[in-house]
Amino acid sequence: MAATTTAAHARAAAHGAYRRLAAWHGELTAFRRDLHAHPELGFEEKRTAARVAEALRVAGVDEIHEGIGRTGVVGLVRGRRGTSSRAIGLRADMDALPLVEENDFAWRSATRGLMHGCGHDGHTTMLVGAARYLAATRDFDGTAVLIFQPGEEGFAGAKAMIDDGLFERFPVESVYAMHNWPALPPGTVGVNPGPMMAAADRIEIIVQGKGGHGAHPYLAIDPVLVAAHIITAAQSWCRATSARSTTPWSACARCTRASPAPSR
């Protein structure tokens, strides 16, 4: 009976949250479109951070801290019961990508060569919506730490915030985040044990060739041929490893750029 009552209460709470958030749908959509139209690269998210801080002030969060990890923003919302010192973090990324947007809707990027192509405008908006709901209801004990991270796209923005004292100033037990996945049907939330999304590392391999005369190619070393073999072997290893794994994304290699090394 107790379990049934608890489940019914959870369903009622979820329905109430949905109705409240649905009432803000238009405002949150406009906020997301504004961010989409004004993309900024990692550690350049000054306008984005300012819009986030403004939205948090309007939402009525308890504290707003700007400039953490250069352009990061942190907001605090305390639950109404106020008997617990426990805290959890909710995190979203804010930066865009160096891409040319070819969409033609009214809120397409206003900056040529920059685009929110990975959905961070949506992630930021979702956390702003969560901040607004938590500040309006405060139906929890403890503190929600809202972390708006800069520089996720290859700039180590999380490390920058941590190095800037994020968790010393705002200690949390755990941090939760989500990522949009357009392949999922609307209204669906994907949950999976273990890895869900990809992470990227960068390595640089320099192939040093040796010039020669066209009449004596056997005396030269062709770096293009060597590099091509490296790329082919890496891709073959990736496919073979993925085929043997129950999580195909556990190992993947991709050549993103091949360019001549500077002369030495």
CATH number, domain at 128?
A: 3.40.630.10
Domain shared by 223 and 133, yes or no? no
**CA-based nearest residue to 155, from 111, 92, 113, 202:** 202
Domain shared by 31 and 145, yes or no? yes
Q: Is the pLDDT of residue 141 over 60?
A: yes
Confidence of residue 250 (pLDDT cuts 50, 70, 90): low
Confidence of residue 158 (pLDDT cuts 50, 70, 90): very high
Residue type, 170: F
Cα distance between residue 25 and residue 214, in whole Å: 67
What token pair was written down for 237? Answer: 């290893």
> What pLDDT sits at residue 3?
60
> What pLDDT sits at residue 201?
76
Domain shared by 112 and 236, yes or no? no
Q: What is the dihedral of CA 143, 177, 153, 226, to 10 degrees?
A: 140
Domain shared by 87 and 54, yes or no? yes
> What pLDDT sits at residue 7?
72
| 191 occurs within a structural domain | no
Which residue range forms the structural domain that includes residue 22? 2-177
Region 98-108: what's the mean pLDDT?
97
CB 208 within 8 A of CB 223: yes
> What pLDDT sits at residue 149?
98
Q: Which comes out higher in pLDDT, residue 40 or 243?
A: 40
**CA-based nearest residue to 202, from 235, 248, 155, 160:** 155
Q: Is the pLDDT of residue 8 over 80?
A: no
| 193 occurs within a structural domain | no
Q: Which comes out higher in pLDDT, residue 245 or 116?
A: 116
Q: Is the pLDDT of residue 213 over 60?
A: yes
Q: Is the pLDDT of residue 245 over 70?
A: no
Cα distance between residue 242 and residue 239, in whole Å: 5
Region 191-206: what's the mean pLDDT?
80
Q: Which comes out higher in pLDDT, residue 120 or 248?
A: 120
Q: Which comes out higher in pLDDT, residue 193 or 41?
A: 41
Region 38-60: what's the mean pLDDT?
98
Among the candidates 162, 177, 192, a domain finishes at: 177
Q: What confidence tens digit (pLDDT) does each residue in 222-235 have? A: 999 999 999 899 88
Domain shared by 29 and 106, yes or no? yes
Residue type, 27: E
Q: Which comes out higher in pLDDT, residue 20 or 110?
A: 110
What token pair was written down for 208? Answer: 């040093």
Domain shared by 208 and 103, yes or no? no
Q: How far apart are the first and last CA of the chain?
A: 77
> What pLDDT sits at residue 203?
83
